[in-house]
Structure formats: C-alpha cells, structure tokens
Structure 1
Amino acid sequence: MKLSAVQVRNAKPTNKAYKLADGKGLYLHISKTGKKTWRYRYRFDGKETTLVLGEFPQVTLEVARRKRAGARDLLDRGKNPAHERRKEKQEYLAEIEEEERKGKNSFENLTFEWWEQQLGKWSKEHADAVLATLRRDAFPVIGSRPVSDIAPPEILKILRSIEARGSLEIASKVLQRVNAVFRYGVQTGRIDSNPAAEMKGVLKTRKVNHRAAISREGLPHFLKDLSVGDIHQTTRLALQFTILTAARSGEVRGATWKEINIEEKLWKIPAERMKMATPHSVPLSRQAMGILEEMGRLFGQEGIVFPGIRDHSKSLSENTMLYAMYRLGYHSRATVHGFRATFSTIANESGFDGDVIEKALAHEQRNKVRAAYHRSEYLPQRRELMQWWADLLQHLEHGAEIIPIGQLANK
C-alpha cells in the first residue's frame, strides 16, 4: 500500500533505522536520529542501486514520487539515473565555477585591481577622483559584466550618457580610464582585445580654451597692479610667491614651514601633495625667500606658510586667490595657473634648456625612453633659472629692459 502524507509526517525514530515503502522502489528511510530520507531502489545492468531523492520535509511525498517517476523514465530510455545525477551535478558545478570566473573578471573587479596598481604613482586626491568617476558613470552600466563580454556599443552608451549632461571633459576622462582598465585586462590575459580602443574619435568636442595667461608685454603692468592693488597682504604675497616659483596654486596654498629649508633655500614638496605623486624640490630665489621672511614675521614659522584670511589654522583657499585676480581686474585675461605658461614661454624663448624648464614645472616626461635617461633634478641649473626669472620680474615691474640670460643669474 502507498504511504500517506500523515504516515510520513508521523514516522518516529526507533533504536535502529527502518524504512517505509511507498511502492515501485520508492521508500522513506528513517534513521535512529529521526532524519527522514527519500530513496529509490532500482536495477541497472543487473546491479541493484539506490538513488537518494532528498530529505523530508524539504522533499514532500508528492515531490518524491515525481522524482521517482523521472528516474524510471531514464531507466526506460536505457540511462542510469545515478550516472545522470552525477553528470547534472558536474555540469552545475561547472556553471558555478564559470559564474565565479566571470565575477572575478568583471569590469568592476578588474578596475579595482588596475587602480591598486597605480596607487604608487598617483596622489591620493587623483586616485580618489579616478575611482569616483568610474563608480559614478561606468559601474552602473558595465560594472558587473565580464570584461570578455563587453562590446564597444556598451562603452559608447556610457559616453553618450555623460555627454548628454554636458560634461564633455568628464566623458573624455572616463574613456581614458575605461581604456586603461581594458588595456590592463589585455596585458594580464583576461581579454584578447580592448573594446575601448574602438572609441577613438567618437567623443563630442568643444573648442579648447587654454587657461588665460599674461604675455611678457603685459607682465610689467600686472606686477605693478599686484603690488599696490586692494587685496589682502597674505593673498598678495601668496600670488607673488606662486609667480616666482612657477608652482601650482594648490602646492603654494598647502605649503608648510616643515617643507621649507631656509639654509638650503629649497622648498621640498612631498609626493602626496604633487599632481604626479612624485616629490618635487623648488629652488628659492632671493625674492621668494624675502616673501617667506615676511610671512614668518606676520604669522611665525610654524604650520601653514600662507594661512587663511579668517582662520589661520587652515590654508588660504583657492577662491581667495581667484577673487584677488577679479579685484585686480584680470579675471577675464589671466588665471593663477596661467602664470606657469607665462614662465614656460618666456624661459623657452630666452634660450633655457627645455628639460630644465620642464623639471622646474614638475612636468612628467612624456617620452618614457627619454625619461629613463633623464632622471637628473637639474638643481644647479634650476637655481640659476629661478633666480633669473625672479630678477626679470623685478626689473619688469620697475620698468627696466628684459635682462639677457646669465647677466643677472649670479647677482
């Protein structure tokens, strides 16, 4: 007689295991611990075999009978249910392994691996910015996708979405970073080709407006305006120091007295504050040292060199320097960063060595082969260059002629 659901549910354990038959080879095995297991006994090629169908109550009586019928159908077709079960399990495990492999090779995982490889040569701020753009714009679209399955149209979809909100510069940066991730995937054997490489020329562009810079002819007038203009003394000195050192405004605003070596007349900026995460030393001219002397007299030689106007425990803000340019009437004609271009143009036109100028600007050598053979800091040459530059600015402000190279360098 067939079992009932009540019999199955009420079956109790005894001092030894036993079974309750349902017929046609199906029975319920009850262990001494009370565990109930559905089993199917059959013969294949003359050998008796038992196939476990599952545990009660997860597998009910009705489900156990359907599983027995399925096993019986396999037997009728000349297949061993136990072998087919093992085959299904192997296929299932293979699918799981494939899913895990794809998960490990997802764009998001590959991005993090690539990103960690770059940390040694990036500043923390730049590293955070790179990851933030990919998290915001790329991950929602292709983050979970295996890199081997991602096609160019999917990348184009990301770029068009960014362009639609008018962020053409961000679209360009995202493409550069996505391209770098896929290139890393090719290099490490995850993929055979880089789908982002097919995006060349696809981005929308707008006319490039370089940061406004004051010409050599405009410097005398600007320098006089800066000296007498209605701006805070700290801001004036910070701007003058920025121009004299050809440093980035952020590097100047974040300068601390610990970075200044008074005896060596050298400003040593640590890697974490540099754009390319490489330490940079700036030779200080007599004029730059004079500004530091004035700042030390005003605020002491501890902590931040150029403190905030209202809160001296914080650095001078970027907006303060920009507002000063506005107050002086130069906001539409020049930017703080533009003075680096002015320095580079005049120094190059005056015949200084290009490598020395690039080193003074802390620019990364684009030619990697050339960079490998040009690791010199050019410190003596840069001392001469920065003193020449400071003397030139001083003479321009006071109406003198432009001084030839070397004439003022050793004064």
Structure 2
Amino acid sequence: MPKIPKQITDMAARKARPGDTPYTLASGRGLFLVILPSGDKQWRVRFQTPEGKRGNRVIGVYPDMGVADAHKAAEALHQQVRMGERPEGLYDRQRAAKASQTEAEVAAQQAAEEARKYSFAVISDAWLEDRKPGWAPATYDKNVFIVRGRLQPVLGQADVRTLASKDVVPVLIRLAHDAPSVAIKARQCLNGIVEYCIVRGIRGDDQVLRLQRVLPRYRGGHIPAVTKVQGVGPLMQAVMAHEGRIVRGGLLLAAYTACRPGIIASARWAEMDLDRAEWFIPASKMKTRVEHVVSLPRQAVVMLREMQQYRGGEYVFPGVGKRGNPHLHRDALSKALRDMGFKGQHATHGFRAMLRTVARERMKVDIDVLEAQLAHAKADDVQAAYDRAKFEDERRKVMQVWADFLHEQAEYANVVQIKQA
C-alpha cells in the first residue's frame, strides 16, 4: 500500500527556497506545492475523472492561500470531479471574473492602471534615477529626501499628466511655513519632474507649473561661519576639547582641509595615503565630478593615525549612535557644533567659508589657490576646458600654514581664558 504523504506545515511552505528548476512538496490527497525558480509558490491538485482521465489544476498561490485553505480547495475540486463537473482552477476563476466585468468596469480598471503608471510617486522616482548619474551622492540624497520624504506622501497618487499649479501650491506653502529652504528645493524638484515629463511627451509643451512667486518672501542667509580672526581661536579650542573622539576627528579634518561635510563623514581609509600625506577623493563623491587630491597637514596625519585604533571597517569615521550608519553622519558634526554653543554662528560647511575668508584677508593667499583647494567649479565651460591648474604644491604649503594658524589661535584662546579666570 503506497505511503500517504503527510500534510505539509506552514513553516515548511514558508521556508521553501527556489532552485534552478521547479520542484514540489507533496501534502496528500493529490495536493502539492510547486516552488518556481522565480520564487512564486503555487498550489496544484492532481485528479482523475471517473473515465480515468488524469489532469491537474492550479488552485491558489502561497501565501495568499494558506495550507488549511489549500486542502479545503483541493477537496472541493475533487468533489467537482466525482460529480462529473469540469474542475475549476485559479486561472479559470480569474478568466470568469474578467469575462463577467462590464465594459465600464474594464475601462475603469485600465484607467486605474494608467493612473498608477503616471502617478507622481512612479514618475518622480524615475526622475531621480534619471538624474542620479549627473549628481554627486550628497546632492542625490538631498533630492531623495525632498521628493520621497516631503512631496510623495502628499502628491504620490496625483496624475502627472494633469498635475496643475493649484495642486502643488498648498504643499509648497505648508513646507515654507516650517522650512523655507526645503520649500525652495521642493519647487526646484517639481519643476525638474515636470520638465522630465514634457520632454518625454507625458505632458504638453505648454503644461509648465507656474510656481515662481508662490512662496512667501524668504530672506535667506549664508551658511553660518566664523570669518573673523577673533572667533577662530574659541571655535578651534572648543573643537579640540570635544569629548567624542570620532566626531572631534571629523570636525578637525573639516577644519584642516575645508572639504564638504558629506565627504568628510564618508571618508574611506582606501582614499588615504598617510605616508604621502594625501587624500585622494574619487570623482564620484565630488560635486564637480572631478577627482580631488587634498594635501594633509601634519596635524591631520597625526589625528588620522590616532583614528586607526578605531579601524573596524572601510570608513575613517565609523558610525556613532543608534542609527546603524556604516560611517559618521554629517548631521552628527553639525549637532556637535550646536551643542558646543555655535548654533547660528558656525556650521560644518562653514569651515570652507572660514578658509576662503580668513586665509585670503589675513594671509593674503592667492584666490586661485583657495578656489582649487575648495574644488569649486570653473565659472564657465571655456574656463573649465583651458584652465586645469590644481596648484597642488602651493596648496600643500598653504594648508600646512593654515593648520598651524588654527592651532596657534586655539592656544591663544586658551591663554586668554586662563588670564580671564
């Protein structure tokens, strides 16, 4: 007497992994679960008619149909066969349901599918991926934050083919109330998404959004930065006294090199050549999309060698806190400055302005050397094509003088503080 297979458990069905070819798990009474290479899992039932004709039907898909329901459906199919009826499977039911739809229902379903295809959520994601190759990683992350974090939750279901100014203006105004700079960036994203639709024929050439004057007047300011010599000492004194070694190291590297916060936070050991005192930043991380070589002053090399004791991965500054980031988050640097009392006075990005201003006014450093250190893009394509000077030797000397200056100012601030005490 053949052995009757035991009913498979839900755990066995759930843990079944796809292979290179389909395979089955028997569950008794002609029911078995087919695991396809795609990962899909189908319930099938083998049957034999009273006339001896054999066949099988798909009756459901796991996990939409659980083990118990699959056995009930299998028994119902066997009963159909015993009664001489044509056994009905999943695809039979789907075809019957589709055939029973009215023309209006079919049209409504097609319209819903089209609306989803052209929904703001789908099209804005496509725009992000289209623009990603031309953006620096930090720029891409910023746009993802705006589009997916601020616009999609409100406009995600909107049809971009008919999206009008009146639909997005209230969204922008609400954003402007809480964060004016975010609203300005959101407006840029919306205009970019609409342009993406126009050039692809999703919208007509005249279907632009008119958002130029919809935001309340916002008097923007520069990123806060210490640009007076008198403020450099107290700032560096506070940074050097910060208790967190990793955050302190990130802030010091920002001060020594004037690189952008995102590049500082994501610095990799593979980019560092401490013997040559150079940091090779790949083009993929640069806003200009051009690789950048940064000279490391002696103080930076010393700090980086100290950081090697925390080396547990590829990043110079490993993640801190509970976020689980692989490397230090740029916001941790900004938060540290705020906590030290520099809110509204100096941000991490402000080290760039500090170098640009103080080194120019106090040390009379050539402006071209400073621009090369800051890796600013050339003014126009012609200048970029012909002026490729990087001033590496000059920058090496200037950045060492700059690091010495920062330490001198910190020591001077200590002396003043002691005298005042």
Do these two structures clear the TM 0.5 threshold for a shared fold by scoring above it? yes
Match of 1:231 in 2: 243
Q: CA deviation at 1:126?
A: 4.3
Secondary structure of the residue that 1:393 maps to in structure 2?
helix
Partner Cα separation in structure 2 for residue 290 and residue 221 of structure 1: 20
Q: CA deviation at 1:125?
A: 5.8
- Structure 2 residue 374 is matched with structure 1 residue 361: yes
Find 1:267's aligned residue among 268, 275, 279: 279
Match of 1:305 in 2: 316
Match of 1:208 in 2: 220
Contact 1:219/1:397 (<8 A) preserved: no
Match of 2:196 in 1: 184
- Over 3 Å counting, the alpha-carbon distance change for 1:353 and 1:188 in structure 2 is farther
Contact 1:257/1:304 (<8 A) preserved: yes
Secondary structure of the residue that 2:187 maps to in structure 1?
helix
Match of 2:126 in 1: 113
Secondary structure of the residue that 2:256 maps to in structure 1?
helix
- Over 3 Å counting, the alpha-carbon distance change for 1:396 and 1:309 in structure 2 is same
Match of 2:173 in 1: 160
Contact 1:249/1:318 (<8 A) preserved: yes
Q: CA deviation at 1:116?
A: 2.1
Match of 2:269 in 1: 257
Partner Cα separation in structure 2 for residue 384 and residue 226 of structure 1: 26
RMSD over aligned CA atoms reads: 4.5
Secondary structure of the residue that 1:282 maps to in structure 2?
strand
- Over 3 Å counting, the alpha-carbon distance change for 1:239 and 1:367 in structure 2 is same
- Over 3 Å counting, the alpha-carbon distance change for 1:215 and 1:112 in structure 2 is closer
- Structure 2 residue 344 is matched with structure 1 residue 345: no
Q: CA deviation at 1:260?
A: 0.4
- Over 3 Å counting, the alpha-carbon distance change for 1:147 and 1:290 in structure 2 is same
Find 1:151's aligned residue among 157, 161, 164: 164
Secondary structure of the residue that 1:267 maps to in structure 2?
strand
Tell me which amino acid in the other structure corresponds to 1:120: P
Q: CA deviation at 1:199?
A: 1.1
Partner Cα separation in structure 2 for residue 234 and residue 100 of structure 1: 50
Cα deviation per residue 1:336-381 (whole Å; 9 max; x = unaligned)? 3322211111244455454543442244456455445555544344
Contact 1:306/1:315 (<8 A) preserved: yes
Task: State which drifts further: 272-281 or 341-350.
Answer: 272-281
- Over 3 Å counting, the alpha-carbon distance change for 1:359 and 1:178 in structure 2 is farther
- Over 3 Å counting, the alpha-carbon distance change for 1:372 and 1:150 in structure 2 is farther
Query: Please, which runs of 5 or more residues in structure 1 have no aligned partner?
Result: 1-54, 60-88, 400-411
Q: CA deviation at 1:118?
A: 1.1
- Over 3 Å counting, the alpha-carbon distance change for 1:268 and 1:342 in structure 2 is same
Q: CA deviation at 1:203?
A: 0.7
Bigger Rg over Cα: 1
TM-score normalised per structure 1: 0.59
* Correspondences of 1:32-47 after superposition (within 5 Å): none
Q: CA deviation at 1:281?
A: 2.8
Task: State which drifts further: 339-348 or 367-376.
Answer: 367-376
Tell me which amino acid in the other structure corresponds to 1:295: M
- Over 3 Å counting, the alpha-carbon distance change for 1:376 and 1:143 in structure 2 is farther
Contact 2:120/2:160 (<8 A) preserved: yes
Tell me which amino acid in the other structure corresponds to 2:191: N
Match of 1:389 in 2: 402
TM-score normalised per structure 2: 0.58
Tell me which amino acid in the other structure corresponds to 1:159: L
Cα deviation per residue 1:25-67 (whole Å; 9 max; x = unaligned)? xxxxxxxxxxxxxxxxxxxxxxxxxxxxxx9xx89xxxxxxxx
- Structure 2 residue 304 is matched with structure 1 residue 292: yes
Tell me which amino acid in the other structure corresponds to 2:279: W
Task: State which drifts further: 170-179 or 220-229.
Answer: 220-229
Give the percent of matched residue pairs that are identical in Structure 1 and Structure 2.
28
Secondary structure of the residue that 1:184 maps to in structure 2?
helix
Match of 2:345 in 1: 333
Q: CA deviation at 1:246?
A: 0.7
Contact 2:236/2:407 (<8 A) preserved: no
Contact 1:237/1:291 (<8 A) preserved: yes
Partner Cα separation in structure 2 for residue 128 and residue 230 of structure 1: 28
* Correspondences of 1:69-88 after superposition (within 5 Å): none
Secondary structure of the residue that 2:279 maps to in structure 1?
strand
Query: Please, which runs of 5 or more residues in structure 2 have no aligned partner?
Result: 1-95, 413-421
Q: CA deviation at 1:201?
A: 2.0
